[in-house]
Amino acid sequence: DISPHLGCYGDPHAITPHLDQLATEGVRYSHAFTAAGVCAPCRSTIITGMYQNSIGTHHMRCNSTLPEWLQPFPMRMQEAGYYCTNNSKTDYQFSKPSSKTIWDQSGSKAHWQNRPDDAKPFFAVFNFTGCHESGIENDAKYKSVTKDLTPDQRQDPAKLTTLPPYYPDTKIVREDWKRNYELITAMDAWAGELIDELKQAGLYEETIIFYWSDHGVGLPRAKRWLYDSGTRIPMIVRIPAAFRHAEQGHPGTVDSRLISSTDFGPTVLNLAGVPLPDRLQGRPFLGNDLPEPRRYVYGARDRMDERYDIIRSVRDSQFRYVRNFEPLKPYYQYMNTPEKGATMREIRRAEQTGELSPAMKLFSAATKPAEELYDCDADPHEINNLAQNPRYLDKLNEMRAALKDWQNEIGDIGLIPEAEIEIQEKLAGSRFEILNGGDDSAAKLQRLVDIATKASQGPTVIDDLIAGLNDSDPSVRYWAATGIGNIGSNANAARPAIVAALGDSSPSVRIAAARAAAKLGESDEAIEVLRKELKSKHQWGRLAAAIVLDEMDDLAKPAVADLQMALKDQPNKYIVRVANRALNELLGADHVVP
């Protein structure tokens, strides 16, 4: 969970001597980005070389079925004779193949030193979890991770000049910002120990080293988000002279090519001389026979923990385009984990006291713009939205088109409700095949984009939304019902169709229709549907029902007993979190759940 807060990236406060030295001996990548702003979806892109919203690993803590042809890349390294180890995080969002199949050894003791033959080549991954957001939030973890820092490696929070303008400038927030730097210094020492192990074994000049982060700093408006603060990462690659191809890998150089986390696996395979599968979406950026450099990198945000917010992003070397498919949701939806953090609590306090700065107000707003466009060179914190500026219309149109092309190319399934994905996955064989299994996939996706866009356009499109309730595609019906719910009391013309949709064959449609029905004055019927869905066999349908009940405020009081049962009986922690939040609001309680 770190952004490029390293000395070699020019950060004025970073104390990172080992990684700075690695950059001196290797290549520092200035435009490396992750495909998601959170760990598990991003890890799935790294291990597969595929976008998470293409293979169905886009929702946090989901369990996707991979297409039969897709092999996690360490398995191909094993087939090529490499001893492959992982120490120790997996978190790939799929259960098959298992970690035992993907790796020769995976766990806290996994190490290249354990290979059966010293002559056997190895591919070893080491994960440092001390920089995780919990290291900032949790006092005990922060103290444990940084216990060996010397006094001159400690930071004075009052002297830090890099605090972003979208945070309150308070002692509490500065303490979090200080902790981020000190955790990074502890990580740097850990990296130095791994490098020393190679040197002591006489393997330093025989080993290619990759260093990167899985996403940006573990604080609000960074982790989980698609801005540079959440997806721009440090990445350093050191290639010994004997393994350099063409003009690659010269010590002390900076590479400004756009790199995506989907590219890491294909690059490792290419450097090892392992043939690349034809259908991989990632591209190698080192080795022989390289493709053209990327013009864009892409990002996707979907369900983050217990809350849905469908967002897509396109980034070129200068500009970032953001498409909010659910603009009527606030930036800062209530999520259990970030709300525990001191910085998020300070943001909430500033919201209550009216102490928000102009930059903070942008992200504490009740709604989001449908589109955002930023000049990241001129505006590195991405504060000044240029999407409505006529001077940038050509760039806006270009990046809109790039997003559409990418979604079609990969078969983006993010606009399909999660409960519906689980249903369609069983029919298609894998989540990838849902929108990559027929000639009509592009047309189907475009219909979803169109109806999802209309869902936030208000009463002017109500006729289209009513018509959408009769579509053969349950995902289209879902978005139509969602759009009518977004309009609320001004959608009376849709009342009969919404009441009929309460009996739809799809749980996702029934839940969206219940939300709309409640806003149209049919709260008794809506509550009855939601109470049933809260007990259904579809866990993500149960979550969606809990979210709607949470949104209904006092109208949800007849479902208090059902929410209390959900709080006690659910194996899905995200349902527990939403049920707990709803009950706290309904009952004036302050109960805390993990």
Q: Which residue has the tokens 């208090």?
A: 560
pLDDT at 363 over 90: yes
pLDDT at 129 over 90: yes
Out of 39, 42, 84, 376, the active site residue is: 39
CA distance 284 to 5: 26
Neighbours of 217 (CB within 10 A): 25
pLDDT tens across 85-127, in order? 999 999 999 999 999 999 999 999 999 999 999 999 999 999 9
- Domains of the chain with bracketed CATH: 7-287 (3.40.720.10), 303-398 (no CATH), 415-587 (1.25.10.10)
| pLDDT computed for residue 439 by the predictor | 83
| pLDDT computed for residue 50 by the predictor | 99
pLDDT at 567 over 90: yes
| pLDDT computed for residue 249 by the predictor | 98
Neighbours of 226 (CB within 10 A): 30
pLDDT at 438 over 90: no
Average pLDDT over the chain, rounded to whole? 98
pLDDT tens across 395-430, in order? 999 999 999 999 999 999 999 999 999 999 999 999
CA distance 236 to 582: 45
CA distance 579 to 568: 10
CA distance 414 to 57: 10
Chain-centre distance for alpha carbon 232? 12
| pLDDT computed for residue 540 by the predictor | 98
Measure Cα distances from 56 to 40, 304, 507 in Å: 12, 14, 19
Average pLDDT over residues 10-28: 99
pLDDT tens across 286-303, in order? 999 999 999 999 999 999
CA distance 36 to 32: 12
CA distance 71 to 277: 9
Q: Is 39 a catalytic residue?
A: yes
CA distance 287 to 248: 8
44 neighbors 93 (Cβ within 8 angstroms): yes
DSSP E strand boundaries for 358-429: 371-375
Q: Give 436's contacts (C-beta < 8 A, 6+ positions apart).
A: 54, 411
The answer to whether the bond into 4 is cis (omega within 30° of 0) is: no
Confidence of residue 164 (pLDDT cuts 50, 70, 90): very high
Q: Which residue has the tokens 């490696």?
A: 153
pLDDT at 431 over 90: yes
pLDDT tens across 182-204, in order? 999 999 999 999 999 999 999 99
Average pLDDT over residues 553-577: 95
509 neighbors 465 (Cβ within 8 angstroms): no
CA distance 440 to 169: 52
pLDDT at 206 over 90: yes
Q: Tell which residue, 499, 544, 541, 493, has the closest CA to residue 524.
A: 499
pTM, 2 dp: 0.98
Confidence of residue 437 (pLDDT cuts 50, 70, 90): confident
Instruction: Please provide the DSSP assignment of 409-463 as one string.
Output: HHT--TTS-HHHHHHHHHHHSSSGGGTTSSTTHHHHHHHHHHHHHHTTS-GGGHH
